[in-house]
Amino acid sequence: MPPSAAPWFHDLVAASATQRSETGSDAEAASSSRPSSPIPRALGRYRILDELASGGMATLYLAATSGPAGYEKMVALKRIHPHLAKERRFLDMFLDEARLAARIVHPNVCGVIDFGEADGQHFLAMDFLSGVPLSELMRAVGRSAELRADPMWVPVIGRILRDAAEGLHAAHELRDADGRRLEVVHRDVSPQNIFVGFDGTTRVIDFGVAAAADRIHHTATGEVKGKFAYMAPEQVNHDTPDRRIDVWALGVVAWEALTLKRLFRREGTAATLYAVLEEPIEAPSALSPRLPEALDAPILHALRRERDERTPSTRELGDAIRVAIEARGARLAEPGEVADLLRRALPREEESLRTRIISARARKDQLETPRSALPASWPLVLAMICLVVLGALAGAWGLGTLASGDESASGAREPGPTLVPEPTAPRAAPPPATTSDDPTSAHATPGSDGTFASDGTTSTEAVEPPAGPTRSSRRHTSRPATRGGSEGPDLATEW
């Protein structure tokens, strides 16, 4: 039957036009009009090194956080586009992903390290995974006749599928603090969201459109989330999602990974959806004779269109695939064997990633202003600075003394009686100087005769002048002669 003859066809095409997903039409339309922004230097405590990818809703950066003793950790930093963060529904979706992914702790799920906001920008810090999506590995093997015929390909795919099934099962079994199951459903299981690391470990990534009981953002009626070619029939028909739609999607991934062909993908959305709902599904071994027939049953069981007849959990699907591979005398590949095949399929990928990280770090170091540091000869520099400061103080003190002398000279030139020279009588010796008990007397201050005591203190006793004014007495007087002791100006205060 042609797609246009199906009674649900027109409604389904209209519904598909309203698709909303993490890279859905609204986010893509908004992002297509946004101006390209430079890579931020940092977000919170994370230093941004490079941009890894950019989608309709968020940008993924390579970042690093550092600590004492040379500690550094590489992370993948996901930042929601600033213009989308202003719209509540997109921000709620991003917050839901952060809250949900942070709760799932499993070796086959990409871990969330941190979530925060810096300068009005929301970000999600995740484990930095060194590897490639399963979709890239499948393309590389599909181009190589040698790898397609490699007997390790089936055990390697079996290990990848088993790891992914365990990661999804951990999400499906997630419970809240009260022990209630959260009914988490990924809703976007595909080769792009199954990540194969260079360490041979497979992890499920991207819970951005996952369904859960405690989400802030809820899907509106008519909205479809996920990729059409991996959607279960009930997902297309807008039925309430449960974990079995992830079982279906993982079954599609298994079928395509083993046959290296597309199962439901057609030209155009309507034809793809029609294939999901109506077209027959062939057994994998019928398309690839090298595949053991024992694998047909678990995969076709996961692809039952009636979900009540489908494999109930991803864990059961993973176990069934393992049993089918072992039934012909083989076994699942070990992580090291997965890593070896990955390097053979993509021999330059790991080194290219390592070079990119090194280049990004070096480029970032050049752009950033280095932190100021004391030179190795800092004691000598400090001593020179002290000498300069002391010299400046000494010069200022000398200028203050000269100013005081000028004031005295000015006072001496005031008009006065004409002096007639007289015989000079011998001067009596001045009385002994006394030391002031004032705490400020430690500062050397001039006395009334402009002299300083030998111990650094000022004489406060008045010196009896000779019987008549003489040039000598006027030269040593800092102000008009008065009877009695008089303290001079405090040089510290005057300076």
Place of tokens 């520099």: 381
The side-by-side arrangement of strands in the sheet containing 131-133 is 131-133, 194-197, 202-204
* pLDDT over 70 at 106, yes or no: yes
d(CA 196, CA 74): 18
* Highest mean pLDDT (candidates 25-39, 136-150, 362-376): 136-150
Least confident of 155-159, 344-348, 374-378: 374-378
HEC assignment per residue over 156-175: HHHHHHHHHHHHHHHHHCCE
CATH tag for 129-359 (out of 1.10.510.10, 3.30.70.270, 3.40.50.720, 3.40.50.10490): 1.10.510.10
Element (H, E) at 66: strand 58-66
Which tokens hold the place of 186?
């990924």
Q: What is the pLDDT of residues 123-164, one digit of tens each?
A: 999 999 999 999 999 999 999 999 999 999 999 999 999 999
pTM summary value: 0.68
Residue 443 pLDDT level (bands cut at 50, 70, 90): very low
Q: Does the pLDDT at position 411 exceed 60?
A: no
How much of the chain, in percent, has pLDDT values that exceed 90? 42
> How would residue 82 be classed by pLDDT, with cut points 50, 70 and 90?
confident
Report which of residues 215 and 235 the model is more confident about: 235
| Ordered DSSP codes for 68-104 | GGG-EEEEEEEEE-HHHHTSHHHHHHHHHHHHHHHH-
What is the rounded average pLDDT of the residues 63-82?
A: 89
Give the other-Cβ count within 10 Å of 228's Cβ.
21
Higher pLDDT, 239 or 425: 239
**Between residues 489 and 386, which one has the greater pLDDT?**
386
The winner for highest mean pLDDT among 81-85, 226-230, 316-320 is 316-320
Q: Which of 58-67, 328-337, 422-431 has the lowest mean pLDDT?
A: 422-431
Q: Which of 188, 206, 246, 296 is catalytic?
A: 188
Phi, psi for residue 80 in degrees, rounded to 5 = -65, 140
Check pLDDT > 50 for residue 458: no
> Cβ(196)–Cβ(132) under 8 Å?
yes
Higher-pLDDT residue of 282 and 483 is 282
Domain boundaries, the chain: 18-128, 129-359
54: Cβ–Cβ under 8 A, 6 or more apart, which residues?
31, 60
| Range from 306-320, 410-424, 450-464 carrying the lowest mean pLDDT | 450-464
The Cα 287–Cα 69 span in angstroms is 57
Gap between the Cα atoms of 35 and 32, Å rounded: 8
* 129-359 shares the fold of 18-128: no
Looking at residues 226-237, what average pLDDT do you find? 91
State yes or no: pLDDT of 8 exceeds 60. no
What is the chain's Cα-based Rg? 43
CA–chain centroid gap for 24, Å, is 25
Distance CA 19, CA 24 (A): 6
Task: Give the distance, in angstroms, between the CA of residue 477 and the centroid of all CA atoms in the same chain.
Answer: 75
Query: Residue 238 has which token pair?
Result: 């807008």
For the ranges 191-205, 264-278, 370-384, 407-421, the lowest mean pLDDT is seen at 407-421
Which range of 290-304, 397-411, 450-464 scores highest in mean pLDDT? It is: 290-304
Residue of 438, 439, 444 whose CA lies nearest to 456: 444
Going by pLDDT thresholds of 50, 70 and 90, the confidence category of residue 289 is confident
Given this structure, which CATH class describes domain 18-128?
alpha beta
Which stretch, 9-23, 114-128, 392-406, has highest mean pLDDT? 114-128
Which DSSP state fits 7? Answer: T
Q: What is the pLDDT of residue 425?
A: 53
In this predicted structure, the answer to whether residue 491 has a pLDDT above a threshold of 90 is no
Count Cα atoms within 13 angstroms, Cβ side, for 353.
Answer: 15
pLDDT band at 20 (very low <50, low <70, confident <90, very high): very low
Q: What are phi and psi of 113, to 5 degrees?
A: -95, -40
* pLDDT greater at residue 335 or residue 404: 335
- Compute the distance between CA of residue 93 and CA of residue 81 in angstroms, rounded to an integer: 12
Mean of the pLDDT values across residues 329-358?
Answer: 94
Report helix, strand or coil for 395.
helix
Q: What is residue 362's predicted lDDT score, i.e. its pLDDT?
A: 85
Tens of pLDDT, residue by residue over 201-229, are 999 998 877 776 554 444 544 455 678 99
| pLDDT above 70: percentage of residues in the chain | 67
Annotated active-site residue 188? The verdict is yes
Alpha helices in 281-334 (DSSP H): 284-287, 296-302, 314-326
Mean pLDDT of 10-19: 49
Mean pLDDT of the chain: 77
The DSSP string of 35-48 is PP-PPPSEETTEEE
Q: What is the pLDDT of residue 57?
A: 83
